[in-house]
Structure 1
Amino acid sequence: MADIINPENEEDLQAQIILPPDYPSAAPPIYQINAAWLRGSERAKLANSLEDIYVEHAGESILYLWVERIRDFLVEKSHCSEAVVQQEEVNRTAEEEVEDDEDAPDFSILGVEKAHLFMDQPNDEEMPPVKHGSPITDRRSTFQPHLAPVVTPRQVKMVLEKLYENKKIASATHNIYAYRIYCEDKHSFLQDCEDDGETAAGGRVLHLLQILDVRNVMVVVSRWYGGILLGPDRFKHINNCARNILMEEGYLASTDEACKSGAKTKRPKGKKAK
């Protein structure tokens, strides 16, 4: 176990690293990071950067690179914390100046009125049904897909909000998603994706949706990191999760039938040529 201390703000972090017998040729180190202040997106960001180092230097010793990356992470965090404190001081000073000025307008009232206008806007969007697929577990990491039919960007937001109401999904290390919506009036697609800290994962899911030519659907893949680096295998599991739930919910039926019919039309042509 190693204690890594940030020299700028004395925030320490404990990293316990176990080297398996086939390290570094065929297996990455197994590690556990302990820090009371490290949680949520920050922990996911650090874990993802360590995994990227392993992928880039597969088969090489990476302990030194990991230690340096953790030190850099601590320094970056201290700089961000200082910036937040400075901004809070600026905001507090500005608030005090407004309170001292009797002629200053009451911005809080304006804010309430503005929020009230948004609340009065009609909301005819229906919450799409959300389906949950079977999980895939590999080396203590678990991947689970979720799917919902969507036809507007607002429904995409509604689905995400619904998923995050689930404490287990909200606590996932990454919630990667992609969606494709077909706009009939423009004969084009509205599509987007989100990595949520898992670099390039959202783009891979979106690429899968494009290859399968599915439309009006959103796929989310949750990953709970188990402490063991998976390397490129993590992308395989993410794509398999997405494809499996698309198949389970019938989104690949039309594609498969089209492929079969296309194959049937090609065979007779080949026979005629003979």
Structure 2
Amino acid sequence: IDEIEALSSIYGDDWCVVDGDEKIYCIKINDCLDQPKWTLCLQVILPPGYPASEPPIYQLNAPWLRGQDYMELANSLEEIYVENLGESILYLWVEKIREVLIEKAQSSDPEPDIKKTSEEVDDDDDGDGFLLGYQQIQEDPITIVNYTASESQEVDEELPSIHHGNPITDRRSTFQAHLAPVVTPRQVKTVLEKLYENKKIASATHNIYAYRIYCEDKQTFLQDCEDDGETAAGGRLLHLMQILNVHNVLVVVSRWYGGILLGPDRFKHINNCARNILVE
């Protein structure tokens, strides 16, 4: 609550409470120019475990924000969360987004399409405009994968369908994500065994995975992750799933090492592979 009061005080009219009871908030961020060219709406939902154990659930909304721009900004926000576990991070997120918008305004990036930008909330709008912004966010074409128990728990032992994402290759290292709907730890084990039957997947340098299963009766999440030798990669993958608020899903990211060290870039590729398959 202290964090929300502080943000409301700092950002004034740009900060909006969409639903105080559900802890849904929206903030309009711009590039700080007298006549802003680049603007973006950040909507956050604060779960009960925030900030101690759960990240905010967020949506980024701007007509120009697509593809690589979306990936890079989302990665930056997730890095901030991972680096500040257990701490309040909304101010850091807002200022990171503002920094990106200022960079865009100062660079040679073409201005966003004026017609599209006009769909956003007008500077002179009153608070009701934010509700329109919030509805636009809800209608964003990016759809997150979530499976309910009824969709996948017909027979516990039955092998769930496994989906394979598009591979990403960088400096001879290749990354590929695999996804399956799961509602029990036994299904997780069954899917992993099935994946490892594939000689190419079994021969990967690392098979990093994470899963989240929502237990309806206990109103809690059963979740776990595995680094498979890639230090902290499983935990990062699980954090991504928490931030995207996905459940009843297992995500495995295979990496085939190509002989050239990638440094921190390897985590970006793991994240991007996982996010791509979750939002496809």
State the TM-score, normalizing by the size of structure 1: 0.45
TM-score by length of 2: 0.45
Larger-Rg structure: 1
